[in-house]
Amino acid sequence: MEMLLVDPTSTCLSPTVHYMVCEAGFEIKANLSISSIVSDKGEIHWRTITEHIQYGEPDQTVDYVKSVRSLGPLCESLHLHLQSLTREQFEDQFVIWFQWTNCSEVFLETFAAIKSPHATTAIALSLMKLTACLERALGDVFLLIGKDCPFLLRDLLVSRELATVFGQSVMDVLRVFVGSPDGLNLRNILWHGFASPQEIPVKYSSMLLCLTAGLGQLLKTYLQQTQSTLVHRPYVSFSNLKELHVFPDLDHELLSLADELVIKSNIVLRTMLPFWITALLSFRQRRYADCVILLLPQLESGLRLLFTKVNKCPSRLMTAESSSLYTTFDEMLAKQLHNEEANQLPLVLGESAMEFLWDFLNHQEGPRVRDHLSHGESSFNVFPREIANSILAFSITLLCRFSKGDIGAVKEHSFLKPLMSCADCYCSQFHPVAQLKKQVLKCIKSIHSWSVLPIMPEEQVQEIGRSGKDTDDVPCTFATTDILSQLQPYLSQSIRLPGDPVEEVIIEKLLADLCSKHVHVLFCPRSVLEIVVVLRQISSQCHQVSRQVISTCETRYKQWINKSLRSRQRHNYLRMRRSIKFLSPVLQLILILITLELMHVHTAREQNAPGYQQYLKFLKVILKYTENLVTYTSPEKNKWEEAAELTQNALLKIRTFLGKQQMLVQLANS
């Protein structure tokens, strides 16, 4: 897509926010004695700092503008003091007081950035990391007293728990700098891509360094008084890295193309160019967390620029005032605007790009990269290259799509084509629909592994045959075969379900083929998501049954061979082995059934309310059956005869409902 050339934007900060961040703290000129603020041993004099917080009348709420003005000279004095220290002096005085954050190295990085004030991007980057670490550490402190730690920093800073530990006036100081949209709000304007590197006064980084050290000193006193111990929550680790590595590896040629695209792309504001350039450099230097921390706000900024153009709302490009919400990913990726008009951005980006963004940023079972990084939940030291590669590669494809001028030669470059192809073909991996597909395929593999479970000695097989009880599964087998035959018309003509016995290879191919079909996942209505939730619960219970069968079989077989089974346990083991004959095809049938329903899940939107409720009730009947089956097949219960009776009743209900022609697959094909 070609976009018209946009006018250069000098700032994305609204006039009020720009004044607060860039001007208010510089209006008062005063020389403050550094000894009144911090001792030569690094002890922070909190009273001197809190005296600068100004309160309004009559409710005594913080007056943020007056507070920033008053704190400005103090920040300047602290900044000049830190600049005068060598690294060794800084570490001697302060490093011990950063240990409570569990990421002292981030604060040392911030000090290094302060010593090089012309490296504005490094200052902004270190401030983003500092605020993330500070938020995580404050959450750990909150949990000394409270139970459920607030997700948002602004809620954390107004909590009674933190005021108890640090004092209310100290929390008011923090809220002036981070956490309140009325204050400097340094964390949000950086993490959401509103502030350019040169707009963040370096003295505020110096101030936050000293405030963090001062918090460590106050915390030490509190822990000694209460004889408490601060426990750090473990970092979130990213799993499923293979699924997250969705683009080809970025090499030197692609990164060189990216350098060119950044300059020519129409979604990169000139003031933000240093962030993009440093992000690319960070990737080259294998600093993957830094790369993504810099990229995500700029991806948000670039999409915001596109969002404001296609929705004709140019004012939304800037930070909002405190009475309004900022335009962030949440609104930009939504189906509708705040006025309920259709959001045009999803149409412009396309389904694949939207699914990628939802996968990596929003879905609860996805990596939620921005949340984990910005809230300090993920370690910066061991951030996966796979995620950085995917986010940077996706960003490059957007730079290319929304570019200005004649860059046809760049777009046709052979190194770029695989990236563009991957972006165009991306399908969600973490939407509940995609997760259900994965569950089904894992479950069927688990069930098919029953066929390689250790078998009983031959004489015991003969014993089962003589007992005459191995026909208990016949009604289940007949019912399963009958239901499968009813489902045959809804399958591809190339897929023929076998009769009895069900052939595992065919079933596995059938499910793989069904799961390969595309199901629209963007902006699923509530009715569709409700159904998917129940289908996932059913699949999960089936998998649990399979795991229990495998575990019990392996354990009992070893005990059998070792002759450590009592008589009753031997008979129970034999009943379990008989039960596998009917349980395997029944579980496979349920997986086929829920997969067919998933393929036609959007048909639910066409049902009337009574029909929908009746259908949901039927699914919950199957869910109840699988839950009971989990109980009966557990090592503690081992009720195999009851499991057979339960299964017969469930199959009867499934066959009856199929006869009513109310399954989604039936409605879709009627």
Residue 350 scores a pLDDT above 50: yes
Q: How confident is the model at residue 567 (pLDDT cuts 50, 70, 90)?
A: confident
Residue 278 scores a pLDDT above 90: yes
Least confident of 42-51, 168-177, 432-441, 444-453: 444-453
Q: How confident is the model at residue 2 (pLDDT cuts 50, 70, 90)?
A: very low
Domain segments of the chain as ranges: 15-226, 241-425, 432-668
Residue 467 vs residue 249, higher pLDDT: 249
- What is the percent of the chain where pLDDT is above 70? 92
Q: Which two tokens stand for residue 559?
A: 């005990």
| pLDDT for res 465 | 46
Dist. CA 4–CA 78, nearest whole Å: 46
Q: Positive or negative CA dihedral for 603, 605, 607, 610? A: positive
Residue 669 neighbours by CB distance under 10 Å: 12
Residue 636 scores a pLDDT above 50: yes
| pLDDT for res 500 | 44
| pLDDT for res 415 | 82
Q: Burial-class residue 232 by CB neighbours within 10 Å (0-12, 13-18, 19+).
A: middle
Least confident of 3-7, 120-124, 228-232: 3-7
Which of 4-13, 318-327, 371-380, 466-475 is modeled with the greatest confidence?
371-380
Q: Positive or negative CA dihedral for 659, 660, 663, 665? A: positive
Dist. CA 269–CA 7, nearest whole Å: 9
Please check whether residue 79 is in contact with residue 206, taking contact to mean a CB–CB distance below 8 angstroms. yes
- In tens, the pLDDT along 131-183 reads 999 999 999 999 999 999 999 999 999 999 999 999 999 999 999 999 899 99
Average of pLDDT values for 68-95?
A: 96
Dist. CA 183–CA 176, nearest whole Å: 5
Least confident of 119-123, 133-137, 304-308: 119-123
Q: What is the pTM of this model?
A: 0.92
Helices (H) then strands (E): counts for the chain? 31, 0
| pLDDT for res 226 | 96
- Average pLDDT of the chain to the nearest whole number: 90
Q: Is 38 helix (H, G, I), strand (E, B) or coil?
A: strand
The Cα-based distances of 397 to 14, 267, 420, 462, 665 in angstroms read 30, 12, 6, 65, 38
Please check whether residue 193 is in contact with residue 271, taking contact to mean a CB–CB distance below 8 angstroms. no
Dist. CA 126–CA 80, nearest whole Å: 18
Alpha helices in 456-503 (DSSP H): 458-467, 474-487
- In tens, the pLDDT along 598-631 reads 999 999 988 899 999 999 999 999 999 999 999 9
Half-sphere exposure of 326 (CA within 13 A, CB side): 23
Residue 481 scores a pLDDT above 50: yes
Dist. CA 564–CA 589, nearest whole Å: 36
Dist. CA 385–CA 291, nearest whole Å: 10
Q: Which two tokens stand for residue 560?
A: 């059998």
Please check whether residue 393 is in contact with residue 387, taking contact to mean a CB–CB distance below 8 angstroms. no
Please check whether residue 110 is in contact with residue 98, taking contact to mean a CB–CB distance below 8 angstroms. no
Dist. CA 643–CA 82, nearest whole Å: 72
Residue reference for tokens 């250069």: 8
The Cα-based distances of 145 to 148, 215, 222, 474 in angstroms read 10, 17, 12, 60
| pLDDT for res 183 | 95
Average of pLDDT values for 411-419?
A: 82
| pLDDT for res 320 | 73
Average of pLDDT values for 327-355?
A: 94
| pLDDT for res 60 | 83
Of 70, 72, 78, the C-alpha closest to 38 is 78
| pLDDT for res 409 | 64
| pLDDT for res 144 | 97
Q: How confident is the model at residue 407 (pLDDT cuts 50, 70, 90)?
A: low
Q: How confident is the model at residue 422 (pLDDT cuts 50, 70, 90)?
A: very high
Residue 252 scores a pLDDT above 90: yes
Q: Is 493 helix (H, G, I), strand (E, B) or coil?
A: coil
Q: Is 255 helix (H, G, I), strand (E, B) or coil?
A: helix
| pLDDT for res 629 | 97
- In tens, the pLDDT along 572-589 reads 788 888 888 889 999 999
Of 18, 212, 205, the C-alpha closest to 117 is 205
Least confident of 486-490, 504-508, 663-667: 504-508
| pLDDT for res 408 | 63
Q: What kind and span of H or E run contains 435?
A: helix 432-448
Q: 136: which residues sit within 8 A by CB, 6+ positions away? A: 101, 102, 103, 233, 375, 376, 377
| pLDDT for res 457 | 59
Q: How confident is the model at residue 127 (pLDDT cuts 50, 70, 90)?
A: very high
